């Protein structure tokens, strides 16, 4: 398995924080699940036999109030069907785009006191992921 990316590195997060905070952003989420969720010892779901997919579903269920307070919402989600251009294998279990009114809203989500107990489900579920920020659309010419 390639290197696992669960949470942002300091370097990547510093780059993110240096970008404008007052423009709308879209965050592309690519997620691969662990076969079995790995909760920290002592967590109420540790040892319960949840799959990564089940733990991620719990994350998505419990993050909704935090997202609502920050103004975040899923604006696109898709189920993989076939690779047209690229490698034959698709390695992601979840693919979706979150929209935030601005980067400040994303930061408010991370600082929300209800975020820390919820993100544990994501950390237990994810084998590796990619989170990519996109700004307002520019001309494609």
Among residues 127, 120, 114, the alpha carbon closest in space to that of 34 is found at 127
Q: How confident is the model at residue 119 (pLDDT cuts 50, 70, 90)?
A: very high
Is the pLDDT reported for residue 1 higher than 50?
no
Cα separation of 48 and 124, whole Å?
12
pLDDT in tens, 103-115: 999 999 999 999 9
| pLDDT at 2 (0 to 100) | 65
Average pLDDT over residues 43-55: 96
- CATH number, span 10-16+25-134: 3.30.70.100
Q: Contact at 8 Å (CB) between 93 and 125?
A: no
Is the pLDDT reported for residue 45 higher than 70?
yes
Sign of the Cα torsion 81, 82, 86, 89 reads positive
Every domain of the chain and the residues it spans: 10-16+25-134
> Percent of the chain at pLDDT above 70?
96
> Percent of the chain at pLDDT above 90?
89
| pLDDT at 137 (0 to 100) | 76
């Amino acid at each position: 398995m390639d290197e696992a990316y669960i949470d942002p590195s300091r370097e990547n997060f510093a780059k993110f924080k240096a970008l404008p905070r007052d423009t709308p952003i879209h965050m592309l989420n690519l997620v691969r699940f662990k076969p079995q969720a790995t909760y920290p010892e002592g967590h109420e779901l540790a040892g319960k036999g949840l799959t990564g997919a089940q733990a991620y579903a719990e994350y998505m269920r419990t993050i909704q109030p935090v997202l609502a307070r920050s103004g975040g919402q899923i604006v696109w989600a898709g189920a993989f069907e076939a690779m047209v251009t690229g490698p034959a294998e698709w390695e992601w279990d979840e693919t979706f785009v979150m929209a935030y009114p601005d980067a400040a809203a994303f930061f408010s989500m991370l600082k929300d006191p209800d975020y820390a107990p919820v993100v544990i489900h994501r950390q237990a579920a994810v084998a590796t992921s990619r989170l990519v920020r996109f700004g307002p659309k520019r001309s494609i010419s």
